[in-house]
């Protein structure tokens, strides 16, 4: 196998779920049958890695300073849903009929990993709660130990700002990750959210 070809196989292994055998199949497939789309993937991938940053308001992925969702006039401004990651935000958008705002932590409280309130942008969140528009803050962290601790901390922030914190209903399996929950379960849990304890 030529140097460039084995470099390509190796590089494809950065994709989650892709081992040596499927990386090789992908490389040969593109070279034999689909060079145009391979070139397009290279171009889009390069642009995405360089240009996608985070929205200055909600911290979700965005190539513009403020994302489309935050600048939309069609979204409810009284409800804010807090999630750990852009993946979780996408899962909620795709599974539920939620029409409010979001805030993305880009992590969860984890002192051992150096992730504290500053890294999660909680100063930005507090500022946002202080604007006075938000009435309910839906805490949609993952049901893991660190996610629960983060939720507890977030509920306190909300109450301090006079905002009602709510949690997703149980139904999301304990120890699981939101992005792997089936749409029906996630939609149900989202609809049955309750007051945070």
Q: Quote the tokens at residue 90.
A: 């996408």
Q: Which does 113 bind (CB under 5 to 8 A by kind): a second copy, Zn ion, none?
A: none
Question: At its nearest, how many Å lie between a second copy and the CB of residue 3?
Answer: 7
Other beta carbons less than 10 A from residue 193's beta carbon: 16
Residue 116: CB atoms within 10 Å: 12
Report which of 100, 65, 56 is spatially closest to residue 82, judged by C-alpha positions: 100
How many whole angstroms separate alpha carbon 142 and alpha carbon 140?
A: 7
Interface with a second copy, residue 63, by CB under 8 A:
yes
Q: Which of 57, 108, 128, 167 binds Zn ion (CB under 5 A)?
A: 57
Binding mask 13-32 for a second copy (x = CB under 8 A): -xxxx----x-xxxxxxxxx
55 binds Zn ion (CB under 5 A): yes
Q: Closer CB to a second copy, residue 45 or residue 195?
A: 45
Percentage helix, strand, coil for the chain under 3-state DSSP, each rounded to 5: 50, 15, 40
Q: What is the DSSP letter of 81?
A: E
Report the C-alpha gap between 170 and 193 in whole angstroms.
8
Pick one of Zn ion, a second copy, none as the site partner of residue 151 (Cβ within 5 to 8 A by kind). Answer: none
Counting contacts by CB under 5 A, is residue 167 touching Zn ion? no
Contacts with a second copy, residue ranges (CB under 8 A)? 1-5, 7-8, 11-12, 14-17, 22, 24-32, 34-35, 37-52, 61-64, 67-68, 85-87, 90, 93, 106, 179
């Amino acid at each position: 196998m030529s140097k460039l070809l084995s470099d390509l196989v190796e590089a494809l292994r950065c994709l989650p779920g892709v081992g040596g055998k499927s990386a090789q199949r992908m490389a040969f497939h593109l070279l034999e049958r689909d060079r145009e789309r391979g070139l397009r993937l290279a171009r889009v991938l390069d642009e995405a890695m360089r240009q996608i940053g985070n929205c200055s308001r909600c911290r979700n992925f965005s190539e513009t300073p403020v994302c489309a969702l935050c600048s939309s006039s069609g979204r409810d401004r009284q409800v804010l849903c807090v999630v750990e990651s852009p993946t979780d935000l996408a899962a909620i958008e795709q599974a539920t009929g939620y029409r409010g705002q979001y805030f993305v932590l880009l992590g969860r409280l984890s002192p051992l990993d150096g992730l504290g309130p500053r890294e999660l942008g909680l100063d930005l969140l507090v500022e946002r709660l202080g604007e006075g528009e938000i009435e309910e803050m839906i805490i949609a962290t993952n049901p893991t130990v660190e996610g629960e601790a983060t939720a507890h901390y977030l509920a306190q922030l909300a109450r301090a700002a006079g905002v009602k914190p709510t949690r997703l209903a149980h139904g999301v399996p304990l120890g699981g990750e939101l992005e792997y929950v089936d749409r029906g379960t996630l939609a149900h849990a989202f609809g049955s959210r309750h007051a945070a304890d």
